[in-house]
Chain A
Amino acid sequence: MSVYVTFYSTHDAIKSQRIGAKQGWTCELVPVPRDISANCGMALFVERGSPDGVRSTLEGGGVEPQGVVERDESH
């Protein structure tokens, strides 16, 4: 499974992508899918990520995600 992470601000989106890259995640910033509600227009797509693990890591890096949504898809 993969996850989409949504954010309150653009700043948090970029910060999360940097955190994910340091963690070695396969991740990228993408436009927020239309069926997901979000403050910021960018979401972090994390391939083969677990929602709890991704959230926990980002919170440890000082980012509070707005939402973490699990999806059965890959980019």
Chain B
Amino acid sequence: MKPTPSSAPEIYFDHAATCGARPDAVAEAMLTAMHESANPGRSGHRRSIAAAERVFDARESVARLFGIADERRLVFAQNATDALNLAIRGLLDDTAPPRTVITTRLEHNSVMRPLRALEDAGAIRVEHAPDDAHGFVDADALATRLADDDVTAVIVNHASNVTGLIQPVAAIGAVCRARGVVFVVDAAQSAGALDLDVDHAAIDLLAFTGHKGLLGPQGTGGLFVRDGIEISPLRRGGSGSRSEEERHPDFYPDRLEAGTPNTPGLAGLDAAVRFVESVGPGEMLRHERALAARFSAGLDTIDRARGSNPPHRRVAVVSVEMDGVPSSRVAMRLDRDAGILVRAGLHCAPAAHRALGTHPAGTARFSFGWFNTEAEVDRAIDALARIAATEPASSTPISG
């Protein structure tokens, strides 16, 4: 029988997957760009110039947010996964002889799958950074490991999409810089939530997405490439520059951008970043962390439930396990009974769940956003308490 959705007002706690609401200015900017509808910089007419200005403004805004001095070193991509593929393959595809890449136990598949593909091809060896039981990297121990001269790159998920744990990127960056190792940061969960400065953290390659903490549209993201780091393009084609040549240009940003960009998306991203700047990433994080803390405190009152609670700084993500109840069933009942939307399972991060002992069952992940309220958190706790009180000791997973 087809399930009947809850009639309760929706509550969206899946911001780690994509933001649940966006500032009105984002859609307005996108609509304007859609109406202008021209190919940025490909032609010299007024609409093409206007479209090129949209892309330019977005590049400047994101560069400003991340402390990137030369905005040309920021290239746009579809999302963080796209940017990470560009970073990893562009850096490592032609590595010879095989070199070692060190990463963390809390990586998303957007890092692990490109790495494993290169490993399977014999191009690299993958190794985990020394860490504690929660996956928090020990920068001092990493420095000792990097004393051996076989490591090409260190790749770190800045904030875990499973537990919210924030890695000490500034300390890791300093270690990598001192050893001449390329430092790659996946900021999918941290961009917009944390102050992030590529120089302060000595980041060589920074991948971000526009549609999560930055509150922008899906289909936007990008990669910062520090001057001096050699990245081979994965795509070549039209760039609006050097049109007489059949070789792709080697100057930035054109070197790593080919084909018509997502101009409406980038116009929306520009508006989103300006909104985030107007509020302040610190202020947003304070609000979201307060909600996460309220939620964790509520969880403590439910005997069968427990939340991830690593003893480190975190973004507003809490993974929940309920004794005897599969995460998929918890999430389904939250949706059907109370209109509460969370993500169950492994969150595209099986490595992280293995590290945390929650593989293969996974967790019901609650991720809080700027537009969430305390009242919504309280409703979630009430709903979880009802599920805990009514589910039999051993439920069967929901399938289909």
User: A: which residues have CB within 8 A of B?
Assistant: 8-15, 29-32, 39-43, 62
Residues in B with CB closer than 8 Å to A41 are 41-44, 240-241, 243
Residues in A with CB closer than 8 Å to B56 are 10-11, 14-15
B49 touches A9 (CB 8 A): no
Question: What per-residue 1/0 map shows which CB atoms of B11-48 lie under 8 Å from chain A?
Answer: 00000000000000000000000000000111111001
Question: What per-residue 1/0 map shows which CB atoms of B220-259 lie under 8 Å from chain A?
Answer: 0000000000000000000111110000010101100000
Residues in B with CB closer than 8 Å to A32 are 44
The secondary structure that dominates the A interface is mixed
The secondary structure that dominates the B interface is loop
Residues in A with CB closer than 8 Å to B42 are 41
Quick one: which of A29, A30, A31, A62 has the most chain B CB within 10 A?
A29
Closest to B53 in A: A14
Cα-based distance from A31 to B41 in the complex (angstroms): 10
B44 touches A14 (CB 8 A): no
A9 touches B43 (CB 8 A): no
Q: Which of B44, B52, B253 is close to A30, meaning CB atoms less than 8 Å apart?
A: B44
Cα-based distance from A28 to B48 in the complex (angstroms): 13
Cα-based distance from A39 to B239 in the complex (angstroms): 10
Interface membership of B303, Cβ < 8 A:
no
Q: Which of A8, A10, A12, A31 is close to B40, meaning CB atoms less than 8 Å apart?
A: A10
Known: A29-B49, A42-B49. A11 touches B44 (CB 8 A): no
A25 to chain B, nearest CB (A): 16
Interface membership of B59, Cβ < 8 A:
yes
Residues in B with CB closer than 8 Å to A12 are 72
Interface membership of B195, Cβ < 8 A:
no
Residues in A with CB closer than 8 Å to B70 are 62
Cα-based distance from A66 to B53 in the complex (angstroms): 20
B266 to chain A, nearest CB (A): 12
A8 touches B44 (CB 8 A): no
Cα-based distance from A43 to B41 in the complex (angstroms): 11
Residues in A with CB closer than 8 Å to B53 are 14
Q: Which of A11, A29, A31 is close to B72, meaning CB atoms less than 8 Å apart?
A: A11
B313 to chain A, nearest CB (A): 35
Q: Which of A11, A39, A40, A62 is close to B253, meaning CB atoms less than 8 Å apart?
A: A11
Known: A10-B40, A29-B44. A42 touches B251 (CB 8 A): no
A9 touches B243 (CB 8 A): no
B241 touches A8 (CB 8 A): yes
Closest to A15 in B: B56
Q: Which of B45, B71, B241 is close to A10, meaning CB atoms less than 8 Å apart?
A: B241
